[in-house]
Amino acid sequence: MLAMILNAARSPLVATSRERPEPGPDEVRLRVSACAVCRTDLHIVDGELPSPRLPLVPGHEIVGRVEALGDAVTGMHIGQRVGVPWLGGTCGACPYCLRHAENLCDRPVFTGYSRDGGFATHAVAAAAYCFSLEDLALDDASAAPLMCAGLIGWRALQAAGDAQVLGLYGFGAAAHLMTQVARQQGRTVLAFTRPGDHAAQAHARALGADWAGSSDDTPPRELEAAILFAPVGALVPLALGHVRKGGRVVCAGIHMSDIPSFRYSLLWHERQLMSVANLTRHDGDAFLAHARRHPLTVTTTVFGLQQANDALDRLRRGELVGAAVLQP
């Protein structure tokens, strides 16, 4: 098999030939058909997330076909199309797992971080943490971003509650999907992009956003909630300043630059500031059920597997519209 390997933080991935991994009793081996490139992959490569398991195959938005089954795996079959998300395993015994909050597990396993991921021709995953993608009306490249941009976006959207006027900050892979979901739910969407990113603003309007502007613009309406997909701490006080009394700001990223100090009056009047962490399998089941009922338009730029460094560079520079996807 061929894999793109991270040997040290802040260094390029290296194309490496390896033996195909054998699945353990509760695992499956997939032939990878697509793996989207997430900003979390960029945080790992750039050394912004601590202690990845090195050497590492990044990538946690995997779509593939089951090629081999572990001895204890039931309910899956050879050739089945499945998706593999960021959450690759949990302990099942900590206080969080026992109260059905597996996204907060004390001893989690993360795909493409603490175990090898999908920037490769083959990958091994825990069968219990794979999602069936059969009957999903998207090709492999389009389905791949759903495994994190879609799942984390969905969890963040649920955290925003029943807000009808929703601000989305950072119009990348997650926001372009959640704009569509929010509009399908009858919400008003205001999209905030990097200053001067007219391509992203046009993309947002094309997908149904009621308004699109720069992150430093004043929106035409007061927000009932805002979701921050951009990992920029300075956006927190900006968003709080545009959220109505009793409104909520949800930080959806796994990493964010430092939040600057801000006056208490921005938080007063029962405004809430919260984060979402990882995902649960229930999130995945609910989101994929929605995606089967309500088709999504997924905007992708496809790269060959050995172009992974180019894809990461373009994501780092903010040059992509929608999601980058690697295909072996």
Task: Check residue 126 and give its pLDDT.
Answer: 98
Number of neighbours of residue 281 by Cβ within 10 angstroms: 17
Task: Check residue 222 and give its pLDDT.
Answer: 98
| CATH number of the domain within which 190 lies | 3.40.50.720
Task: Check residue 118 and give its pLDDT.
Answer: 98
Helix (H, G, I), strand (E, B) or coil at 27: strand
CB within 8 Å of 304: residues ≥ 6 apart: 326, 327, 328
Task: Check residue 30 and give its pLDDT.
Answer: 98
Partners of 227 in beta bridges: 168, 250
Q: Do 21 and 101 have their domain in common?
A: yes
pTM summary value: 0.96
pLDDT in tens, the chain (328 residues): 999 999 999 999 999 999 999 999 999 999 999 999 999 999 999 999 999 999 999 999 999 999 999 999 999 999 999 999 999 999 999 999 999 999 999 999 999 999 999 999 999 999 999 999 999 999 999 999 999 999 999 999 999 999 999 999 999 999 999 999 999 999 999 999 999 999 999 999 999 999 999 999 999 999 999 999 999 999 999 999 999 999 999 999 999 999 999 999 999 999 999 999 999 999 999 999 999 999 999 999 999 999 999 999 999 999 999 999 999 9
Question: CB burial class (10 A; 0-12, 13-18, 19+) of residue 326?
Answer: buried
For the chain, the straight-line distance linking the first and the last C-alpha, in angstroms and rounded, comes to 10
Burial track 17-36 (b if 16+ CB lie within 10 A, e otherwise): eeeebebeeebbbbbbbbbb
Block residue for tokens 């989690």: 108
Q: Do 268 and 207 have their domain in common?
A: yes
| CATH number of the domain within which 299 lies | 3.90.180.10
Q: Do 62 and 88 have their domain in common?
A: yes
Q: Do 23 and 77 have their domain in common?
A: yes
Q: Do 189 and 243 have their domain in common?
A: yes
What secondary structure letter does DSSP report for 219? Answer: P
- Structural domain that includes position 61: 2-147+279-327
* Contact criterion met (CB below 8 Å) for 166 and 227: yes
Compute the distance between CA of residue 201 and CA of residue 247 in angstroms, rounded to an integer.
24
Instruction: Tell me how many domains the chain contains.
Output: 2
Q: Do 7 and 143 have their domain in common?
A: yes
* Contact criterion met (CB below 8 Å) for 128 and 102: no
Q: Do 230 and 106 have their domain in common?
A: no
Compute the distance between CA of residue 129 and CA of residue 220 in angstroms, rounded to an integer.
42
Q: Do 49 and 177 have their domain in common?
A: no
Compute the distance between CA of residue 74 and CA of residue 201 in angstroms, rounded to an integer.
46
